[in-house]
Amino acid sequence: MSAARQAAHAIDPDLALGVVRTLDELRDRSRGAGRASQFAKISGLALVLSGVGLYSALAYAVRRRTQEIAIRMALGAQATHVRWLFLKTSAWVVVGGLAVGLPASLAVGRLLQNNVVRFDSRDPVMLIAMVAVLAVVALVASIVPARRATRLELTTALRIE
């Protein structure tokens, strides 16, 4: 490094050199950033797929329970109670997923720690952020089917097929 600095200084004494790194250091650093980027893309895709899966499962549950919802509404159930019924269902799914996923993420995180640059699998801020993002995605995914459950046309929903 000192030889490179002296050669640059010999060519131009006024040249200000910043941080000088070897080609091996630059290559290792770019590989680490590429891996982190790949993991970020995969985790984003997994988050989208989990949101779509939760939405689909809840939409199917609403569709399947259409007559039950219509009977509840016809007997005087408030729309907010019907919404809470499905929001609680999705909350239990998320809690169950977190109960399984959080310990699994800690275990797998130890394996990935060697492959991703600046990654700590036990970072509490990262874990809290992950749980918060998952909770927001679950809430957004379950709001639409829950609202759809309360907007049923009672006469057509109560028709026996």
Cβ contact 83:149 at 8 Å: yes
- Whole-model pTM: value is 0.64
pLDDT of residue 100: 92
Best CA proximity match to 57, nearest among 132, 134, 145, 157: 145
Cβ contact 73:154 at 8 Å: yes
pLDDT of residue 73: 84
Q: What is the mean pLDDT of each run of 10 residues along the chain (161 residues)?
A: 79 78 72 67 88 88 84 87 87 89 83 66 81 88 85 74 58
pLDDT of residue 34: 63
pLDDT of residue 49: 92
* Biggest CA pair distance of the chain: 92
Annotated domain spans of the chain:
21-157
